[in-house]
Structure 1
Amino acid sequence: MKKKGDLSINLIITAAIAMVVLIVIVLIFTGKIGTFRQNTSRCEASGGTCVDTVLQCQGQFEKTFPGGSCPGDDGKDNTRDDGVCCLST
């Protein structure tokens, strides 16, 4: 025999899942998900350091992060293609 409380708990769980899905859809269509992805792919956000060549990844920072983006030489948020992200081992 079902209790009246079971229906309300199921309804709350379904509404919470629907709310999360709705938020993700809104983020995708407003373009905010790209900003999130860009910020998480930054080298410094992953705990790494940017260098010019793979040979400079020595000591504590021996592991390279191929997807990490390094800031440009002017210090702005634009990225340079020749930078290497070295992660701590």
Structure 2
Amino acid sequence: MAKIVYPILLILALASVIQLVYAGGERSLRPEECGKACEYRCSETSHKKPCLFYCNKCCATCLCVPSGTSGNKEECPCYNNWKTQEGKPKCP
């Protein structure tokens, strides 16, 4: 029985760690992880260059990039609430 339970517990523990890192969340990233997170975040846009520029700028400040290629900004309040002078969202 223990041979079955321990691997399952290990898998669940690893899944929890992966969710914490990749599910977003304020300050969940280190600065060196921003590039990869933004590469994925901007992977489906037709405006890749500005998306990457602003995503990396936002990530450097907030240390967070929402999961997925769009939406989910509620995962990162700093990223979500940063606005341009015109009041539009700064972060993609």
TM-score normalized by structure 2?
0.33
Higher strand content, 1 or 2: 1
TM-score, length basis structure 1: 0.34
Where is the helix percentage greater, Structure 1 or Structure 2? 2
